[in-house]
Structure 1
Amino acid sequence: MRNHRSHYLGAEEKARIEIIPMIDIMMFLLVFFMLATLKMIQGAGIKLDLPQSSTAEQLQKTVKVSIGVTKTGELYMDAKPIDANTLSARLKGLVQGNSNVDVAIAGDEGVDYKKIIGVMDVVRAAGISSVALVTNPAT
């Protein structure tokens, strides 16, 4: 006679998925990423004593310059009147102090194309390749 009981002793139980440990892990990951994200945000307004490094590099700032050209050919740099020679010297000074200089040229609606090209030549001669022309959006 066979023992029916031995048949049940070796039987495997059905696999179960435990939800509670998975929820604990997900909460841990959520808190970890929230804290990591907060540490990445710059602490503006907080006085910090930063450590020194012998291999540190200075971040380059982008300088934005606005040049205006009127119908009569007058030049304005950042809303102040300027002549072409002074404009060239100031732009070269900006390039020497910082390699990232963006120039926006705003020409009056009736200004000659030749005058705009002349200003672009002055800007490019100063070593600036980032030049944009300012317009109003079409309505």
Structure 2
Amino acid sequence: MRNHRSHYLGAEEKARIEIIPMIDIMMFLLVFFMLATLKMIQGAGIKLDLPQSSTAEQLQQTVKVSIGVTKTDEIYLDAKPVTPTELTAHLQGLVHDSKKVDVAIAGDEGTSYKNIVKVMDLVRAAGISSVALATNPTT
């Protein structure tokens, strides 16, 4: 017959696996390896003493310009209203500073095609060939 006494005194419990301390340890390991990886990536750079050159050129900086065209033929250069001559003069100044200029033209939805082409001509007259038309993605 079974021992009734053990039944009343808190019978043998099944072994349980506590998962919370294991999760804590896994999170600690994850953070540790992430930080260790970040430190290794930074340390991957090689310190070099570059030789000097008399014909070295500086890399061109890219200047990004946005031009807005409204339905009423108003032109905005980086959110400031400008005239066509001011726009051309400003863009020529940027090109003259030997910088690469990328232009994005954003036309209002009701703007005529003629106005967009007119602004594109002004940009090309300033010597800039990198022109893009801004749009909103469809959902």
Q: Tell me the TM-score normalized by structure 1.
A: 0.64
State the superposition RMSD in angstroms: 2.4
Structure 2: how far apart are the matches of 1:119 and 1:75?
8
Give the SS at the match of 1:95.
Answer: helix
After superposition, the C-alpha distances for 1:110-132 in whole angstroms (9 at most, x for unaligned) are: 00110000000000011100000
Q: Which residue of 1 aligns with 2:73?
A: 73
Amino acid at match of 2:77: M
Fraction of identical pairs, as percent: 67
- Structure 2 residue runs of 5 or longer lacking an equivalent are 1-40
Runs of 4+ in 1 over 3 A off after TM superposition: 34-37, 50-53
Q: Give matches, 1:11-50, under 5 Å.
A: 37-39=44-46
- Structure 1 residue runs of 5 or longer lacking an equivalent are 1-33, 41-49
Q: 1:63·1:98 contact (CA, 8 Å) conserved in 2?
A: no
Q: Tell me the TM-score normalized by structure 2.
A: 0.64
Structure 1: how far apart are the matches of 2:101 and 2:108?
23
After superposition, the C-alpha distances for 1:46-86 in whole angstroms (9 at most, x for unaligned) are: xxxx8854232111101110000011010000111100000
Structure 1: how far apart are the matches of 2:92 and 2:55?
28
How many residues were matched structurally?
A: 98
Q: Which residue of 1 aligns with 2:57?
A: 57
Amino acid at match of 1:123: V
Q: Which residue of 1 aligns with 2:116?
A: 116
Structure 2: how far apart are the matches of 1:92 and 1:71?
26
Q: 1:62·1:98 contact (CA, 8 Å) conserved in 2?
A: no
Give the SS at the match of 1:76.
Answer: strand
